[in-house]
Amino acid sequence: MLYPDVTPHATGWLSRDDGHEIYWEEVGNPDGIPVVFLHGGPGAGISVNSRRFFDPQKYRVILLDQRGAGKSTPFGRLENNTTDHLIGDIEALRENRDIDRWLVFGGSWGSTLALAYGQAHPENVLGFVLRGIFLCRETEIAWFMDGMGRFFPEAELKFIEIAGFQKNPGWQKLLDRYDDIFAGKEGEDIAIEAARVWSAFEATCCTLLPDDGLVEDFEGDQIALALAKLEHHYFVNRGFFEPDQLLRNIGRISHLPVIIVQGRYDVVCPPTSAFSLHAAWPGSEIFVVDDAGHAASEPGIVRELVRATDRFDGSRFAGK
């Protein structure tokens, strides 16, 4: 159900005062409904398929690689890389592209960032389409480090062995150990291999059915090195949020329309977070895909995301 690929009609790098250069691209109808695509990770970057959830005749689609990811530079840089920095980049890009208000579309970490951006700048948002909800609570970080491996123990074994353990020592100890590795204390080769193992572990857990192609993509240098380092960086810092911040501040955006799409068997971001968000947001709509996990590429997830963007008329989600 994805729309055909479209070639960007504009691309560029947004220069920031602290030395980061944020890659962006624009596709679709220049006079259409503006929408910004926020990728997951953090660190995953955008892809060709990121453009294809939107009718190119209806939407003006803005996509960006977040700090340290994809084509943004410096690649993998942790300095000046916080949620507030990312929010500032999104807002600067909105102004740069001369957009008044836009729909915000994000999945996984992209859903986290979408909520944080919306709560910082609700006056600039038309609504939300969110997938695979991650609220960056400590319980969710703990689950990633010492929970989802219960469903994929063979993948988890590599994840803990590269860190020097025979069994999972607990999420905080494992997170601390990866801190040493990514800081280069074990050497650059081990840091690179650990990044590949981290990313492959996540990719293995992403889909309901095995997807070797996805795992292979995540193990590649362009994704693995940024994804693992940036995810770890944001986990260590609890997303740079106060406890339960995104739910506590939901009143700032609860007047805006939202559709939540969630895989029933999402092992990376279990459905409990999506239902917590739905319960806190009056008027929110949630669609649970009973034959899907976490990945945006799974057919049922694609179907509901495209249905959501098709329904949006610029101010609300019309019909069902």
* Measured distance CA(7)–CA(108) in Å, rounded: 25
Active-site annotation holder among 72, 108, 111, 199: 108
Q: Is the pTM of this model over 0.85?
A: yes
Alpha-carbon Rg for the chain, nearest whole angstrom, is: 18
240-265 average pLDDT score: 98
Using CA atoms, how far residue 26 sits from 12, 48, 110, 125, 256, in Å, is: 9, 12, 18, 18, 24
Residue range 157-174: average pLDDT? 95
Q: Which pairing describes strands 125-131 and 102-107: parallel, antiparallel, or unpaired? A: parallel
Residue 188 has pLDDT above 90, yes or no: no
User: What is the per-residue pLDDT across 274-284, written as a single tens digit (0 to 9) for each?
Assistant: 999 999 999 99
Q: Which domains does the chain have, with CATH numbers?
A: 10-136+241-311 (3.40.50.1820), 139-239 (no CATH)
Measured between alpha carbons, how far is 272 from 107 in angstroms, rounded to an integer?
Answer: 15
CA dihedral 179, 181, 183, 186 (to 10 degrees): 150
On the 0-12 / 13-18 / 19+ scale of CB atoms within 10 A, 7 is exposed
Model pLDDT, residue 186: 82
Our answer to whether residue 15 is catalytic in this structure is: no
Contact 231, 81 (CB under 8 A): no
Give the pLDDT score at 224.
Answer: 83
DSSP annotation string for 135-177: ---HHHHHHHHHTGGGT-HHHHHHHHHTTT-SS---HHHHHHH
- Rounded mean pLDDT, 69-98: 97
Question: d(Cα 162, Cα 160) in Å, to the nearest integer?
Answer: 6
Q: What is the pLDDT of residue 99?
A: 98
Q: Per the residue annotation, which of 39, 65, 266, 284 is the catalytic one? A: 266
Contact 110, 86 (CB under 8 A): no
Confidence of residue 31 (pLDDT cuts 50, 70, 90): very high
- The per-residue pLDDT for range 81-91, each reduced to its tens digit, is 999 999 999 99
Q: What pLDDT, on a 0 to 100 scale, did the predictor assign at position 309? A: 98
The answer for residues whose C-beta is within 8 angstroms of residue 39's C-beta and 6 or more apart is: 45, 46, 50, 63, 65, 66, 69, 70, 106, 107, 109, 110
Instruction: Say whether 121 is catalytic.
Output: no
Q: Which of 92-96, 109-113, 210-214 shows the lowest per-residue confidence on average (mean pLDDT)?
A: 210-214
How does 46-82 read in b/e, with b if 16+ C-beta sit within 10 Å? beeebbbbbbbebbbbbbbbbbbbbbbbebbbbeebb
pLDDT above 70 covers what percent of the chain? 100
Question: Strand 258-263 relative to strand 125-131: parallel, antiparallel, unpaired?
Answer: parallel
Residue 254 known to be catalytic: no
Per-residue pLDDT of 8-23, as tens digits, reads 999 999 999 999 999 9
